[in-house]
Copies of this chain bind each other. A is one copy, B any other.
Amino acid sequence: MQTAHATLNQVLVTLFNDILRIEERTLSAPGLSIREIHVIEAVCEAPDPRMTLLAQALHVTAGSLSVAVSTLEKKGYLLREKVQQDRRATYIRPTGKALQIQEKHTLFHQEMVEAVIGLLPKEELAVLVKALDAVDSYFSQKETNP
């Protein structure tokens, strides 16, 4: 086992990059980049899929998202929908094709989580979860209030 410092640093530097690449390789669909898959994911999971809110969730500008949505519309994964209530707003809807992609994505995350859970004894898992919970709160607070 490594020291606490070394392991934590290792995790910060490489673990996440490894996971990202595995995800990219696993999910790469013909003609869909990992960015596009994340846009589809955000659309599928958003409680209120309007452009501005989606852009916030994805941490990109509305302009960038608009370009991405247009290409995903052409590729048949997303639809733009206008409503009477507020005719400025655009609602982004996933097509059946997008839902299929999203299902694969969800499955990938589930399998990854199962793999990690299977790796550790029950008691250690409980501690890991508690610790990660604390770390996550710490960083998400720091990210929200820089």
Contacts and interface: CB of A to CB of B under 8 A. Distances in A.
Interface in A97-130: 109-110, 112-113, 115-117, 119-120, 124-130
Interface stretch (A16-24, A65-73, A85-93): A16-24
B18 A132 contact: no
Size range of the chain A interface in the assembly? 35 or more
Copies in the complex: 2
Interface stretch (A29-37, A74-82, A138-146): A138-146
Contact of A21 (B17, B117, B143): B143
A130 to B, nearest CB: 6
Interface of A is mostly: helix
A136 B15 contact: yes
A53 interface: no
A11 interface: yes
A119 B143 contact: no
A10 interface: yes
A115 B59 CA distance: 25
11 contacts: A2-B133, A5-B113, A7-B136, A9-B113, A10-B136, A15-B132, A18-B142, A22-B139, A22-B142, A119-B135, A125-B131
